[in-house]
Structure 1
Amino acid sequence: MRPQLFCLPHAGGSSAGFAPWSRRVAAHARVRPVELPGRGTRWDEPPPDRLATLVADLATRIRAEADGPYLLYGHSFGALLAYELAHALRPSLGEPTALLVSGRNGPGVAHPAIPLHGLPRDRLLEQLRKLDGVPVALLEKPDLIDPFLPVLRADARLAELYRRGRHPVLSCPVRALAGDSDPLADPAGLHRWSEETTADCLVEIIPAGHMPAGHPAFVAWLRRTLSELTAEA
C-alpha cells in the first residue's frame, strides 16, 4: 500500500492548495491535506493562539486517519507544524518515513524577516505581495481578502514567535527545499535541518520565490523525492 502524505499549509493557507497533488504524485503516495482551524471545512473554528494547542489538535486528526507508513510535508509555517507533528506522533504512530519541508529554515533558526502579524492592514498587504502569498486579484478586493486576514495574522504570529523546544533528534530522513529568491529561507538556514535528524538531510534550491509549489522544478523535486523515499521504505 502506498504511504500517506499528510500536507500542512503555509500561514493563512488551506487544504485546497493541495488538491492537484493527488494527481501529481499518485504513483508514490496518497495525499492527505490537513485542514487547520479557521478555514475551509473548519471555517467556523477559531485558530488557536498557542502552537501546542494546534499541534495537539492536528495530531489527533492524523492519528484517526493514519493506516500505516506516512510522510509529513509542510511549507513555511506548515514546515514548523510538520516538524512538531513528527515529534507529537512518534509515541503513537512512530516517526514518519520522512519529513519534507519547504520555504523555512531549520527550527533552530529564528524567523528572518519583518513580523507580519502586527502590521497595519496596508503594510501587511504590501508584504504579502512581496511574498506572492496571495493572488494580486484577491489583494485588490477588500471584501474578499479581509475575512482571511485574522487567520493569516494568527498563523503568522505562531510562525514568527516560534522557538524550537527541547525535542530529541529524529531518526527519519529530511528533505528541504526553497526558492533561490525566497526572503524567508536560505541555503545556510536550510542546512540547519540536518541538526534535527540522525538520518540524511538533503537540501535543494530551485529558481523560485517563497511560493514554489506551482513551479515545474518543485513538482519534479516532489515526485523524485517521493519516488526515492517510498522505494526505500
Structure 2
Amino acid sequence: MPVALPFLTATAGRPAAGPRTRVFCFPHAGGSPRAFLRWQSSLGDDIEVAAFCPPGRDQRHREPRAASVAELAAGAAEAVRAAADGPFVFFGHSLGALVAFETARLLRGHPQPHHLIASGCAAPSLLPTRRVVETARLEGRAFTEAVGFFGGLPPEVVDDEEIAELLLPALRADFRMVAGYRYLPGAPLDLPVTLVNGRDDPHVDGAALRPWAREAVRPPQTHWVDGGHFHFDPDPTGVTTVLRSVTSGTGDADGERWEHVEVI
C-alpha cells in the first residue's frame, strides 16, 4: 500500500524487503521531516521511516498551516489510518512528541500501534512551559535569541537577521501553536511509552518527565543519552538504538521484558 501524501520515506519506489515495522516520525518546531530520512540506513530493511510532513511545509507548502496541536494531530491520525498496513511505532521530538502523543490518543483501539517514543518533551500535562509561552510572544531579534536557548539553530542564523527572518516563520508559527496548547486529561494509553532525553537538555529534566507516568497504563521507560535538547544531531545513535530495540520486540506489548537501559 503506498504511503499517504503527508509522509515522506527514503524507501519509496524500492522493492519490498519483506514485512516492515513503520516508524511514523514527527518533527520538532520548525524542523524538516526530511531530517528523519537520514536514519533509514541505520535501521535496516525491516524498519521503514515515514516522516510526517505538516501542512505548510515541504511538499505540502501550498496548504495552510495547522492552527493548533489538536488540528495537526487530527490530520496525522487520518493519514496514519490510511497509511498503516502493518505494525507501527510513533516517534516525535519536542513539539513532534506532543503531536505524536495526541495522535496516539485519537487512534485508541487501532489494532497495530506498537509503541510511542517521546524525545525531548516534558509531560503533556505540564505544557506549554512558561519559557515557550514567553518565547512565542517575541518578535524579531528577541525571538531568535530566545529560541537559541533550545539549541538547534546554526550560529549564522542567530547572527544574521535577514537569514533569520527568511528561515524562521515556520518556527515562530510552531512556537505559537505550542503556546496555545491546552492539555485535556484522558484515559492512559494502552501501549508502551519510552522517553528519550539528552542529559544536558536545559529545557527538559527528570522532574518534567515524571508526569508522563499518568499517560500510559504501564510505567514509561526512560533513556538518558549524551547531548542536549537536540541530542540526535549530528549522531542519532541513541535514538536509532531505541528504535531498533522496540521494533525487534524488546519492548513487547505486555511490558514483561523491559528493563531500564541508559544508552551512552
In the alignment, the residues of structure 1 paired with residue 184 and residue 25 of structure 2 have an alpha-carbon distance, to the nearest angstrom, of 22
Moved over 4 A (4+): none
Note if 1:117 corresponds to 2:142. no
2: distance between equivalents of 1:25 and 1:147? Answer: 34
Which SS does the other structure have where 1:163 is aligned?
coil
State which of 163, 178, 191 in structure 2 corresponds to 1:172. Answer: 191
Matches of residues 150-169 of structure 1 in structure 2 within 5 Å?
150-169=169-188
- Please report how far the alpha carbon of residue 149 of structure 1 lies from its aligned counterpart in structure 2 after TM superposition: 2.6
Aligned partner of residue 105 in structure 2, secondary structure: helix
* Alpha-carbon spacing, 1:196–1:95, altered in 2? closer, same or farther (3 Å): farther
**Residue 82 of structure 2 is aligned to residue 64 of structure 1:** yes
Q: CA RMSD in A?
A: 2.0
Corresponding residue number in structure 2 for 1:50: 68
* In structure 2, C-alpha distance between the alignment counterparts of 1:228 and 1:207, rounded to whole Å: 18
What SS does the aligned partner of 2:125 have?
Answer: coil
Structure 2 residue 214 is matched with structure 1 residue 195? yes
Structure 2 equivalent of residue 15 of structure 1: 33
Match of 1:133 in 2: 152
Are the aligned partners of 1:5 and 1:70 in contact in 2 as well (CA < 8 Å)?
yes
Structure 1 residue 225 corresponds to structure 2 residue 242 = yes
Q: 2:231 pairs with 205, 209, 212, which one?
A: 212
Give distance in 2, aligned partners of 1:152 and 1:214. 18
- The whole-number CA distance in structure 2 between the counterparts of 1:147 and 1:36 is 19
Which residues of structure 2 form unaligned runs of 5+? 1-18, 253-264
Please give the per-residue CA displacement for 1:158-192, whole angstroms capped at 9, x wherever unaligned: 22332321321111111101112222211122232
Q: Contact between 1:113 and 1:184, CA under 8 Å: does it hold in 2?
A: no
- Aligned residue in 2 for 1:82: 100
Q: Report the alpha carbon displacement of residue 138 of structure 1 after superposing the two structures with TM.
A: 3.1
User: How much identity, in percent, do the aligned residues show?
Assistant: 31
Instruction: Compare 69-78 and 102-111 and name the one that shifted more.
Output: 102-111
Aligned pairs for 1:16-31 (under 5 A) are 16-31=34-49
Q: What stretches of structure 1 of length at least 5 have no aligned partner? A: none
Query: Aligned-pair distance for 1:108?
Result: 1.3
Q: What is the total number of aligned residue pairs between the two structures?
A: 230
TM-fit CA distance, 1:83 = 0.1
Structure 1 stretch displaced more, 195-204 or 80-89? 195-204
Contact kept in structure 1, 2:25 and 2:51, CA below 8 Å: yes
The DSSP-based 3-state class of the residue aligned with 2:221 is strand
CA separation in 2, counterparts of 1:106 and 1:5? 21
Counterpart of 1:172 in structure 2: which amino acid? L
Q: 1:96 aligns with which of 110, 113, 124?
A: 113
Task: Return the alpha-carbon distance in structure 2 between the equivalents of residues 225 and 19 of structure 1.
Answer: 16
**Match status 1:40 vs 2:58:** yes
Instruction: State the partner residue of 2:259.
Output: none
- For the Cα contact (< 8 Å) 2:52–2:76, is it kept in 1? yes
Aligned pairs for 1:142-153 (under 5 A) are: 142-153=161-172
Once the 2 structures are TM-superposed, how far is the Cα of residue 206 of structure 1 from its aligned partner? 2.2
User: Match of 2:49, SS?
Assistant: strand
Larger helix fraction of residues? 1
Partner of 2:8: none
TM-score, structure 2 as length reference: 0.79
